[in-house]
Amino acid sequence: QPLSPCLLGERLCSAEEATAGTGTYTRHGFIFSSLAGCVEKTNEDGGLPVVSVVRDAESQLLPDVGAVVTCKVCSINSRFAKVHILYIGSVPLKSTFRGTIRREDIRATEKDKVEVYKSFRPGDIVLAKVISLGDAQSNYLLSTAENELGVVVARSEAGVQMVPISWCEMQCPRTHTKDFRKVARVQPQFLQT
């Protein structure tokens, strides 16, 4: 029988019709799903069918502590940058997760001198590491304190992709104006000598 998708906490059937299997729980005489996925019904010999919920392979992917994620900066203020997480490693996410990069997690050194607007701008694509799963709003806390982490793609006011020229600056190849950024590890060929 084809698997039907279900949401977390969705009421699946009466507990009289089936037995609660993995990925489900029973409450007030009904069976509910304890995760988002697909409903499976299996018939045991002569007994009640067992209802279980199996995770959709694609929906299983959640940012985990220590994972390196690619995110896009949505907004910034003096204390943090708000981002949307788009990839975990190289795997694109089907739904976006919100993340926050706090001022103190932007750089490993001189944390007290860091200024958010000199590190990120809205629209930047940033490599970051998940440092905690945050609060109920699934707001992940991210860090760019390692050299490999930080801005990988940024556009200038002119709309051109900027080139990193040092660990804290990028330059527009068209207008040659420079902007401050927390740049992900710069490839040697871009460094000015």
Assess whether pLDDT exceeds 50 at residue 47.
yes
Question: Which of 143 and 35 is assigned the larger pLDDT?
Answer: 143
Assess whether pLDDT exceeds 90 at residue 107.
yes
Region 49-66: what's the mean pLDDT?
76
Tokens read off for 132: 């905690």
Region 170-188: what's the mean pLDDT?
88
Query: DSSP of 86-154, one letter per residue?
Result: EEETTEEEEEEEEEEEEGGGS-SS-GGG--GGGT--TT-EEEEEEEEEEETTTEEEEE--STT-EEEE-
Question: Which of 15 and 35 is assigned the larger pLDDT?
Answer: 15
Q: What percent of the chain has pLDDT over 70?
A: 89
Q: Domains, the chain, ranges and CATH?
A: 4-54 (2.40.50.100), 67-147 (2.40.50.140)
**Lowest-pLDDT range of 33-42, 56-65, 123-132, 164-173:** 56-65
Could you give the CA distance from residue 65 to residue 129 in angstroms, rounded to a whole number?
8
Supply the pLDDT for residue 57: 58
Supply the pLDDT for residue 193: 33
Could you give the CA distance from residue 148 to residue 186 in angstroms, rounded to a whole number?
8
Q: What percent of the chain has pLDDT over 90?
A: 59
Assess whether pLDDT exceeds 50 at residue 192.
no
Supply the pLDDT for residue 191: 45
Assess whether pLDDT exceeds 60 at residue 130.
yes
Region 149-163: what's the mean pLDDT?
94
Assess whether pLDDT exceeds 50 at residue 190.
no
Supply φ then ψ for residue 48, to 5 degrees.
Answer: -70, 145
| pLDDT tens-digit map of 11-24 | 999 999 999 998 89
Q: Residue 166's beta-bridge partner residues?
A: 169
Question: Which of 122 and 40 is assigned the larger pLDDT?
Answer: 122
Assess whether pLDDT exceeds 80 at residue 56.
no
Region 115-141: what's the mean pLDDT?
87
Could you give the CA distance from residue 86 to residue 153 in angstroms, rounded to a whole number?
14
CA neighbor of 53 nearest in space, from 40, 67, 44, 68: 40
